[in-house]
Structure 1
């Protein structure tokens, strides 16, 4: 979906929504949830780690970078989880991918106030950010015992 803005000369400027990526890091039938530390209006609410895709960067490269920056882990990115979620009044879109930890890395909360590993039964025990909440239902089958 494109959005339009009218510039000072009356011309419509068209641009794609900014892509934000999230990682549903899955290990042992659980997914990693991260509690926001800031800004104050969302502090304590839960999300999947990730962030904005930079110009010229692929979505998967952005996720690898963001997981290293936020959690000090190396990850392998898998398939998409759930649908695109519109954010910021349509100016951004969240895309979440399944991921797995590499080399026995263990996440460290470098930018979050807390980390929790949640089973399918525990997904509803945290207060998810609105953009991340629609992904939770799509995660349940991925967390089911095999």
Structure 2
């Protein structure tokens, strides 16, 4: 899977023929700038790949409501404010996903890996691989914000 399967979209953009799965994604950022990534649990597509936590929106949920629910269910934390920062799409073999990326700076609770996944706080350059391909554009933007250019995609895709 190459990063070219990802693209940036704008809310309200026309829907392609294939139905999208709407996903809320949390970019949890610690005070020192570290980013939380977690591994995909066994039994899910791309098991073992690293990703930002989150999950599918349920009927009638806003992005923020879905993110709150998912991070409580998966990680055992309650997040503070979460507004959509970027929206991207990625075409995986198993699903066409529209990813609603939210930067989150506040949360309460102790992290519990409730789905058997692992977690890692990461700075650039990342030390966990491989990273889920749908995260590549966001990793590039986050790296650019921090003054890291270039090798983020190549490094994240190793595995």
TM-score, normalised via structure 1 length: 0.76
1:19 aligns with 2:22: yes
> Deviation of residue 143 (structure 1)?
5.6
- Match status 1:126 vs 2:139: no
Q: CA deviation at 1:126?
A: 2.5
Per the alignment, do residues 55 and 69 of structure 1 end up closer, same or farther by CA in structure 2, a change over 3 Å counting? same
Which of these residues, 8, 12, 16, is aligned with residue 3 of structure 1?
16
Alpha-carbon distance between aligned partners in 2 of 1:44 and 1:57, rounded to the nearest angstrom: 28
Q: Where does residue 11 of structure 1 map in the other structure?
A: none
Specify which structure has the higher proportion of strand. 1
Structure 1 vs Structure 2 CA RMSD: 2.5
SS in 1 for 2:103: strand
Structure 2 SS opposite 1:34: strand
Alignment partner, residue 96 of structure 1? 101
Which of residues 115, 134, 139 in structure 2 aligns to 1:136?
139
Asked if the contact 1:37–1:43 (Cα under 8 Å) also holds between the matched residues in 2, the reply is yes
Q: Which has the larger radius of gyration?
A: 1
CA distance in 2, matches of 1:19, 1:111: 21
Alignment length, in residue pairs? 132
1:65-104 equivalences under 5 Å are 65-88=69-92, 91-103=96-108
Q: What are the Cα deviations for residues 63-103 of structure 1, in whole angstroms up to 9, with x where unaligned? A: 01000000000112434344412334673211211112323
Residue 124 of structure 1 deviates from its aligned partner by: 5.7
| CA distance in 2: counterparts of 1:72 and 1:142, whole angstroms | 29
- What is the alpha-carbon distance in structure 1 between the residues aligned to residue 141 and residue 49 of structure 2? 19
